Structure 1
């Protein structure tokens, strides 16, 4: 594993870029700021190396509050939007920061994408990062301990999360990488197939409505592989505030087993 200084964050923490490289020259680089995937370089079928995720080259861009992209970062405590920035647990109301219009997005103003993570374990093909969120942080209840393990070998990436809390609390952790398998340009020519017969629509604030809806006859029917561009542009025409397809899709297989959910293919493949 290679370790490279990346900068010092606003809280005085030294931020490093840690890189795993496999036998084929594929590499994964992760920052201990937000446990962020900064780059994922993969060799394509023609032997060309491509960085297939979006990322910044310097720390200030990740720290920016004006353009919170969360490129490659861990999002939490709750990824996506909490309606009206509030929730109830056991009869008690919790009010959160409204950092996305009327809603709370990605855990609030200082979500996990802005947190310092310790590198707690590493070998030649994996690295584990850990962080701690105190009771009351962003007004969520209970202390929360989180570890994120990235395993990378033979060009395959696996991410595992383990979160424990000292109180009942909503927890929904994810990685917020943006993939471009072409390594440049847009993704309108990418091909997508999903084993998903149902999705959840969003309203004009991109909040999930909670209404489970069949994909039949919609832009969101990817059960058979198709080019993404027409679906993205069609949806944008119907909802101008949309910045792309930003919806929940249900996996058709049983939830108790590992299963293939979908396949994304580069435009030139």
Structure 2
């Protein structure tokens, strides 16, 4: 009871359906969490204005009183100074369509979940979003890649560091750009997470590098990987280090 408060102690739920809202709230309460629930985006945004982060916001993509991307814009304006706050968007199989989902993640969301889902699944996703320990099993990554990423200032202890490191390793081994979907699947299998989890982790690292001044604006995962692979190859070339081998 007297221990330190977890970063995501406040769970804010934006769900237009009262039935689903009550069901999710009841499930979370059984698991020891007491969410704050809203049916309208405007009410949630007013709450965030009064009570700024940290928190985790779980919002349905169908926002009844606001366009989805208008909501994302206002959310990022409020929560921009609080990067520890996470936004999970929940959606159906058909809405928003697959081609819009990368835009959702580029405009402020950290993750999206497909309905239906349980309170337990939601908590597991939240823990994944806030987790930072090195995974129990790290697939082989060449030490030169690790040193390169550490030199950029990325935290070695964060699991997303290893997603990027392995992505660079895979592209160096292949000698060509690996299709993004294939990369998500392969990295997900390596680290035991979903492809969406890999994508979310790469986007968080992109945002971190942007805050550090490496990028002018947050890159997409494809832009992030391409830029880092190019920078790594250039660094090795300039150092005239011929010791780099494709196998670590």
TM-score normalised by the chain length of structure 1: 0.24
If each structure's helix is expressed as a fraction of its own residues, which one has the higher value?
A: 2
TM-score normalised by the chain length of structure 2: 0.25
If each structure's strand is expressed as a fraction of its own residues, which one has the higher value?
A: 1
